[in-house]
Each structure stands twice: as C-alpha cells, then as structure tokens.
Amino acid sequence: MIRVALIGSTGYTALEVARLLLAHEEAELTVATSRADEGKPLSEIHPSLAGRCDIALQPFDPAAIAEQADVAMCCLPHGASAESVRDLATAGVRVIDFSADFRLSSVPLYEQWYGVTHPWPERVGNVVYGMPEFFGDEIAKADVVANPGCYPTSAIMPLAPLVRAGMIQTDDIIIDSKSGVSGAGRSPKLGTLYCETNESISAYAIASHRHGPEMQDLIHRIAGKPVDVLFTPHLTPMDRGILSTMYARPVLQDNDTVQSVTSRLMDELRKTYRDQPFIHVVDHLPATKHVVMTNHVQMTVRVSGPNDQPGRVIIVCAIDNLSKGASGAAIQNMNVMFGIDQMMGL
C-alpha cells in the first residue's frame, strides 16, 4: 500500500486527490495537513467525504510525515510550495508538487513570471515535468515531480507532437482556452462568486497568463524547437473542464489539400498516443463534458479551406482541469513512480 500525504488540504485539487484515493486499491491517504484547520476532520472541510475519509488535519511536520507517508502531494501556492517540497524531499519523502515552482527550466524565467525569489533554486531545471506520456522513465525514478499546469496540459499534448514532427509552424500559434471556475481556487473572492461567473463568459490575463511561458518552455523541451504562443484564457460557467481551441499554420507539402493535411496531423497524433490509455485522438469535436471526472483527454484536428488551398490548422483539446489537469495527473504520476499500472484508480 502506497501511503500518501496531502499537503494543504482545503482546496479543490486536494479534495480531488482524496476522492481519487478512496477508489485506489494500492494507495491510501494517511496524512492531511492544514495550517488553518488543524485538528478538524478532513470531512468537515469537504463534506462530501463525510463517513468516507474523516482523518484529522495535522500541522506540516516533514519528519512526522516521513514516517507516515511514502509520497506527498503538495497542494500549496507557489513560493510556499517550493519550501515544503524542499523540506519533504530532504526528509526522504517523494513529492509531487502541484505548484508551478519546479515546472519551468530556469530560475530567471520563474522569477520573471512569478515575481518571487525561488526558495530552492538549485533544483529548478532539474525536476521532471509530470507528464508520463513524455517523461515516464524519469518520473519512475524521480524524488520530486512537477505536476503540470492545467492549461499547459491541454495545449502541450496536441501541439508538442506536431511541432516535433515539423508539421506546424512554430511562430504563429494561438491558444484560446476556456476553463471551468474550479481552476480559480477555493478562496472566497468577488470574481468567483456564483452570481459573478454564472451565465457569463469572459477573457482574463490576455497575453499575460503564467501558463503561456510554461507552454512555450515545455513544447520546446519536448519538441526540441522554440515556439511562440499567444495564450488567452477564459472563465467559463461550469465547475470543471478545459477546452483549448488552437490555431496554427500547417507546414505544407506539394499538392496538399485540406484532407491530406488533416490526415497527416491526425495520424501523427494517433501514432504518438497509440499506447497511451488516457489520450484519445477522436473524429468528433470534443466537449469538456466528454472528459470531466476522468483523467482522459480528447483531441481532434480540423483544417480550414478551400480544399485545394489548406489554410489554418484548428486543434481542439478537452481535459478535466482538476483531473488530468491536476489531481488525476498526480495519481497517474504516483502510479508511475511506484511502478504500478498507471491507470489504477483513474
């Protein structure tokens, strides 16, 4: 039995970890920490766990956690997270970090976008990105895994293989993403009140969201080529799910048609993900409803016409921001780290 510690237990990703572990046969939640709610049962913070997971919240004590857990899921805000990750790793606990603290390749890039001094700079650039579809071998051996961002997951998974294969141009990629509200967290704020977001869609952080550089950095790492993406996130009136609609220019071959380009790109994606149980290259247009409450990903490709003059590539990718975009990916990473079936519990 893999013993799991939850670090920072009050948010939606923490609840999702707890929920998924309830159905996992080879892992169990043994520790849950919270600064503000120490002593309370986890189910008091998350009433859906009543009678199902009532363990008491503990303070954060790396040594104590090292005795009770094999792996920690760290659901803290950036900055604070890196400190806890360092302390846990030092105490010998393997860590899956939900924050962005170890996702980017370099400290300057991190500090430019996150505006804080990194507490453990020597590990930056030296932590595997927790996307088993590309980094499975490294994850299996890792002491620390940087769990991917939600938006980046929806963009990297279809774009990286196509960039790597030289099938789309690297300097003209637009990513228009629509996310459910859970992505904004569980802290009370005016902007995420029901009556502010319900029955409404809006763009935010245009050309300035921190997930933009994460997408660029990871596509570069996976595909071996720098890319330039313009990223616009939108707040969508639903609990969960991300739909990313992406616009790129195809690298054309002689006599290409809309059909030939579409087939070539779909084939490349199908080939890439042939053995990946969570990634589905589909003919229909994915909706977030098709993937929420699962760790699965659906993606497809369209090309604008007219048929003998292929225009732009349009790629649509749907994920669940809390599952494959956060806690589901973390469980998948844990499975890989401990050498069990990556689908277990998912």
Summarize as ranges the residues that interact with its own copies (CB under 8 A): 12, 23, 25, 47-48, 50-52, 174, 176, 178, 180-182, 186, 188-190, 192-204, 206-207, 230, 232, 234-241, 243, 245, 247, 280, 282, 284-294, 296, 298, 302-305, 311-312, 314, 316, 318
Least distance between its own copies and beta carbon 185 (Å)? 9
Residue 19: name the closest of 337, 330, 327 by CA. 327
Q: What gap in Å lies between CA 199 and CA 209, rounded to an integer? A: 23
Structure tokens at 36: 């503000």
Which residue is catalytic, options 53, 75, 150, 317? Answer: 150
Q: What gap in Å lies between CA 175 and CA 209, rounded to an integer? A: 12
Least distance between its own copies and beta carbon 186 (Å)? 7
**Would you call 75 a catalytic residue per the annotation?**
no
Residue whose CB is less far from its own copies, 54 or 67: 54
Least distance between its own copies and beta carbon 150 (Å)? 14
Residue whose CB is less far from its own copies, 35 or 289: 289
Residue whose CB is less far from its own copies, 68 or 245: 245
Residue 250: CB partners within 8 Å, gap ≥ 6?
A: 167, 168, 169, 256, 261, 265, 303, 310, 312, 313
Beta bridge partners of 58: 33
**Which three-class secondary structure state does DSSP give residue 133?**
helix
Long-range CB pairs of 221-224, under 8 A, 24+ apart, other chains included: 221/105, 221/129, 222/134, 222/156, 222/160, 222/161, 222/164, 223/160, 223/161, 223/163, 223/164, 224/164
φ/ψ of 76, rounded to 5, equals -105, 165
Least distance between its own copies and beta carbon 142 (Å)? 27
Cα 77 → chain centroid: 15
Residue whose CB is less far from its own copies, 37 or 143: 37
Residue whose CB is less far from its own copies, 130 or 241: 241
Active-site positions read 150
